[in-house]
Structure 1
Amino acid sequence: MRRREREISAAVIAFLFFCGFLWSRFQKEVYTFPQMPEPVSGETADLSEKAIAADESFDPNIRPSATGWTNFRDKKILVDETFSSNLPLVVIDTGDQEPKRGVVWDGEKDYYVSTGEDPYAYGEIFVIDNPEGTNSPKDSASVHSLCKLKIRGNSSGNYDKKQYLLKLIDEDGKPESRNILEMGGDNEWILNVSFIDKSLLRNYLAYTTAGEFMPFTPDAKYCEVLWKDGTQYRYEGVYLMLESIKEGKHRVDLPAYSDNGTVTPALLRRDRYNVNGIMLENYATERQLTSGYLDIEYPKKDVITKKGIQNVTEQVSRFERALYSENWKDFVQYRAYIDMDSFVDYFIVNEFFLNYDAGYNSTYIYMDYSGKLYMGPVWDFDQAMDNNATEIANLQTTAFHSAPWFDRLLQDPIFTEMIIERYAELRSSILSDASIRAFTESVIEYLGPAIDRDWARWGYYYTDGNYLSTRMPDGSNRNTQTHREETEKILSVLSQHGAWMDERLDSLYQFKKITLEEAKAQLAGQSVNYSPALAVLFIAVFQISVILVIKYDNES
């Protein structure tokens, strides 16, 4: 009897163990997503110091014709050493050399190609940033370096007010890292403020806001640029001294490149085709599922090996194979391959600021040794906040829902719920109307008379350029005529769009493939759909156990 009891007990235990095994296998196969190592933590940009108070030593009523201004001719303003500013000064001396663009659009090839000549002008840069806050060309420089610079930007390279890529070099022409305006040491910088942004605010407002919660957001500091012109200085206006997006300790801080293993840390950029880049042949690009191209920015072309390129390609492609799968079980595997929080924040920042170009161009993605994809850093907001020449911002809808990758991510209601909850958190603090207005007004107060000087230099375009060619539905002109008008336009646009998002952001659920409840049930393992093979095997094991029990009862 005891032997039979042991037999039946063993049979029942075996049955229960097998059921547990089947359940665990089912959970792993259907509902448990592959676990990835924790990502390497990156530094979060601390930009709080940017909300600085105005320099009270300057009278905001002083006009550009005050001391230091000598003449205005041929769209040129010259100043002498008596010029002073509460902003840091960047003085550039390249002698008779002028920077060039270095690229030109090839209509037949449909992308930019090199001009074949060295676009750089070589010279010196002096950064003057006195602790007391008053800066003049005659003052000692806090940073002095040899440099080379070229005109940057594709369409923006044609504007009168140029943007420049600045590289610091030593006497041998090799890169020299310097800490400019306390933003951390590096050799590569950008003199930025787009000619089309007469407010001088858009990039600074977006970068500073995003920098409070998004890692590696570029740091930026306002300055006024003077170009040495004989014994005087050519006034170029208000600029941002801006960190370029690149791998580096004070930029996108990624692990050093190694050719070992199957994971390669990388910095990618989605944009137009770059004939000189490392263009990925990834899953979605090859099948024309996304617009634009992905280019490897780091590791550099002369460092990364074929194996490294293959690793990066596979890291992107495995995410895209899941994301573009029509099988729901395969689709949700995308969650294992990305940092969802970074994708959520990227969506919110670009949607809130109405940055229609993001996701398509000037879009950055990085990966560490976890192999996961992180969205960011954010970049290029000069056409945001209703500043696109031909497309009027629609404040009563979302635009980012159609961006590459995000149009598929929104099929997952879990991702949409994350956006809605995160937006509510940010909207109650840093994205609130009160916070945005207070910060904007503090920036305007800090800039003070520098705004007038910049408008004196470039006002012919700000007021008469009619950059915004598309008129409002009522026929009114979208172009403002004063800096205050443009500022109020930005604040109004953000307030109206934010109010719509407050009430209607849940409209993103229209893109879902299953309900939120079903998605949550799947994550919790509460919804079970056995495959036919598993069901047959389960029944067979159960019947064998029943037979053993009946046999035991008859014998006893």
Structure 2
Amino acid sequence: MKHVNRFYLLLVLIVQICFSSCKENEDVPASNDCELLSFSVAGNLNGLEKNLNFTYDGETKTFSSMYLKWIDRDEPEMMIPNFETNGAKVLVNGNEVVSGKTKLSFADDFIMTVVAESGIKNEYKISLNCPQINRELAVLHFKPEVEITSKDDYVDTEIQLYDKTPGSTGEGWWNSDEQGTVEMRGRGNSTWILPKKPFRIKFPKKFSPIGLNHAKEKSWTLLAQDMDKSLIRTHIAFEYSKILYNPSESYHHEKAVLFTPASKYVNVYITGYYTDASTGVRSYKDGEYLGVYQMSDQVEQAPGRIEVEDLEASDGADPTKITGGYVIETDLHEGTHYSALKRIKMSYKYPKDDDCDPAQYEYITKFINEAERVLYSENFKDPVNGWRKYFDEKTLADFIIIKEFVGDLDGYTSTYMYKRRGVDKLFFGPIWDCDKGWDNDKRVPHPEHAPLESLMIYAGFWMPEYVNYDWFQRLWEDETLRQFVADRWASKKAELQAVTEKVLEETPVKMGKAIEANFEVWPFYYQFSDEAKMPAETYTKELERIKELSEKRAALLDKLLK
């Protein structure tokens, strides 16, 4: 009996203890703590040269960091983060993650959810600006065997070119480990001496790089846009070209080549020697970020580009071939041919010097000289036997509209023209190189014609310096051309304005991280060039300035084109 009583007393004691414990737990509510206290990525754990400490912005609840070195490993976007929290657990896409153990993709910004003991949640955005892995733009990493120092001599170069942007198909990728080296050299005139240098790439076979599938050719360009702090002036001009030189309109001459160069933005890295023109310092860059570049066509005679007829030295003076095709550029920098009357300096881009019979250059020179003679004759306005006999009016009008709308002081000094076989006209195009447009040129070549208040035909540079009365000014004396241009402008003005606003609105969204990274390497509020103007105080204000200038320029053209 005593044993039974002892057991009973022990049972009562156990029940009392359990009841007391439960009551204490009822008195302590579950914690509501759910803060992400810190976030970082350890370098040694993730193949990085340094630790990444993320900065917290309380207003946007964002942890952010930037890393601009090349990550040389498979799946560089996959990293293991370290973080501290006072919550019960942390989730990403509904899955629990553990500090120092769980691997996550940093290709896109992601949300980290901290869950408290009570079940309430707190969300934080994690944002890593790493151009190599971010999916905003395609990526090019080039490794020249020696430093690229010349615009004439190519350098054998290994490259990695890929595009992981949403919707990309994997076409146009290039890996030199599998597909072989390419050749690269410098390019440009005034742009080649700038700190951020432009380049030309030549693939070993005809190839269409990522997103540029309208042509398969060996040569492509990388435009640095170092003078244009918006990075998009030439891109906008190309958008104008697509509207005006539009094959689907069936508006132009049936033999017109309505070619607009491609425009694809890429994040570029370099492993190799590079000389900074602003300081003269030569240094070895091991996978360093070189900035945002605009990849585009090489302007040349080729299928999908300026597709005039083939003409080779072996064709000689064959009368069935000698009338075309030809590609000509008025060229202040490197031109070697001159028109007879006004001594306009030109380069014959096609056929090339090393594959041309002398009779062919003699033919096109004679044709240009005759066109110029008629242009400056008394009856040059005659609709049949005047200048229209030798110059195509529709491509000329579209060329004028674009150069005037962007306000390009250099617009008429570098003009591409071409001649088709069997067609006795010079056609104008394509549009190229508008980085000095939108009031980005501090030179005033003719003080009597203020650039922001005048047509570039008068305010811009003439070709060459000693020519004080050039082709475009002479053409503009024809009131019927002025009316033709005014009517074409009126019919396309709304489309041109709409695409301007579209590009200005979309650019900061589509490539915001890349833009930020570019100006981390190349300071935004800085101009090495003694020709280009300083930009607005910030990138956002620079885009606003372009928008305002476009609106003012459109209103001005309404008055001046007639």
Q: Which TM-score tier does this pair reach, normalised by the shorter chain?
A: 0.5 to 0.7
Which residue identity does 1:179 align to in structure 2? S
Kindly tell me: are residues 90 and 273 of structure 1, through their superposed partners in 2, closer, same or farther at Cα, counting changes over 3 Å?
Answer: closer
In the TM superposition, what is the alpha-carbon distance from 1:445 to its structure 2 partner? 1.4
Which of 216, 224, 229 is matched with 1:185 structurally? 216
Give unpaired runs (5+ residues) of structure 2. Answer: 1-56, 78-131, 246-257, 273-283, 463-469
Q: Name the counterpart of 1:120.
A: 154
Q: Name the counterpart of 2:19.
A: none
In the TM superposition, what is the alpha-carbon distance from 1:467 to its structure 2 partner? 5.4
Q: Secondary structure at the match of 1:492?
A: helix
Q: Name the counterpart of 1:263.
A: 323
Kindly tell me: are residues 168 and 224 of structure 1, through their superposed partners in 2, closer, same or farther at Cα, counting changes over 3 Å?
Answer: same
Q: Is the 8 A contact 2:162 2:210 kept in 1?
A: no
Which of 65, 73, 94 is matched with 2:144 structurally? 94
Question: Aligned ranges for residues 383-532 of structure 1 at < 5 Å?
Answer: 383-391=436-444, 394-401=451-458, 404-428=470-494, 430-432=495-497, 434-459=498-523, 462-465=524-527, 479-506=535-562
Which residue identity does 1:201 align to in structure 2? I
- Structure with greater strand percent: 2
Tell me whether 1:197 sits opposite 2:228 in the alignment: yes
Q: Is the 8 A contact 1:84 1:134 kept in 2?
A: no
Q: Name the counterpart of 1:322.
A: 374
Q: Secondary structure at the match of 1:234?
A: strand
Q: Name the counterpart of 2:395.
A: 342
Kindly tell me: are residues 497 and 144 of structure 1, through their superposed partners in 2, closer, same or farther at Cα, counting changes over 3 Å?
Answer: farther
Q: Secondary structure at the match of 2:295?
A: strand
Q: Secondary structure at the match of 2:149?
A: coil
Distance of 2:381 and 2:233 partners within structure 1 = 42
Distance of 1:231 and 1:63 partners within structure 2 = 31
Q: Name the counterpart of 1:66.
A: 65
Which of 367, 380, 393 is matched with 2:419 structurally? 367
Which residue identity does 2:514 align to in structure 1? A
Distance of 2:264 and 2:306 partners within structure 1 = 18
Q: Name the counterpart of 1:43.
A: none
Kindly tell me: are residues 436 and 231 of structure 1, through their superposed partners in 2, closer, same or farther at Cα, counting changes over 3 Å?
Answer: closer
Q: Name the counterpart of 1:4.
A: none
Tell me whether 1:286 sits opposite 2:340 in the alignment: yes
- List, as ranges, runs of 4+ consecutive aligned residues in structure 1 with deviation greater than 6 Å: 61-65, 468-471
Distance of 1:87 and 1:63 partners within structure 2 = 22
Distance of 2:546 and 2:493 partners within structure 1 = 17
Q: Report which structure shows greater RCO (CA 8 Å, sep ≥6).
A: 1
Question: Aligned ranges for residues 38-117 of structure 1 at < 5 Å?
Answer: 66=65, 68-69=67-68, 81-82=76-77, 83-85=132-134, 86-95=136-145, 97-102=146-151
Q: Is the 8 A contact 2:157 2:181 kept in 1?
A: yes
Kindly tell me: are residues 439 and 141 of structure 1, through their superposed partners in 2, closer, same or farther at Cα, counting changes over 3 Å?
Answer: same
Kindly tell me: are residues 67 and 144 of structure 1, through their superposed partners in 2, closer, same or farther at Cα, counting changes over 3 Å?
Answer: farther
Q: Is the 8 A contact 1:90 1:226 kept in 2?
A: yes
Kindly tell me: are residues 286 and 63 of structure 1, through their superposed partners in 2, closer, same or farther at Cα, counting changes over 3 Å?
Answer: farther
Q: Name the counterpart of 1:210.
A: 241
Q: Name the counterpart of 1:228.
A: 271
TM-score, normalising length: structure 2: 0.65
Q: Secondary structure at the match of 2:520?
A: helix
Distance of 1:167 and 1:66 partners within structure 2 = 35
In the TM superposition, what is the alpha-carbon distance from 1:485 to its structure 2 partner? 1.2
Which residue identity does 1:182 align to in structure 2? G
Which residue identity does 2:433 align to in structure 1? D
Q: Is the 8 A contact 1:319 1:334 kept in 2?
A: yes
Which residue identity does 2:337 align to in structure 1? L
In the TM superposition, what is the alpha-carbon distance from 1:468 to its structure 2 partner? 7.1
Q: Deviations over 1:73-126 (max 9, x none)?
A: xxxxx665444122000111224x110134xxxxxxxxxxxxxxx632211222
Q: Is the 8 A contact 2:157 2:182 kept in 1?
A: yes
Tell me whether 1:272 sits opposite 2:332 in the alignment: yes
Which residue identity does 2:137 align to in structure 1? L
Q: Is the 8 A contact 2:138 2:165 kept in 1?
A: no
Tell me which structure has the larger Cα radius of gyration. 2
Q: Name the counterpart of 1:34.
A: none
Instruction: Tell me how large the CA RMSD over aligned residues is.
Output: 3.1
Q: Deviations over 1:32-57 (max 9, x none)?
A: xxxxxxxxxxxxxxxxxxxxxxxxxx
Q: Percent identity?
A: 25
Kindly tell me: are residues 63 and 504 of structure 1, through their superposed partners in 2, closer, same or farther at Cα, counting changes over 3 Å?
Answer: farther
Which residue identity does 1:357 align to in structure 2? D
Q: Deviations over 1:448-493 (max 9, x none)?
A: 211100111101xx2144757899xxxxxx5422111111111111
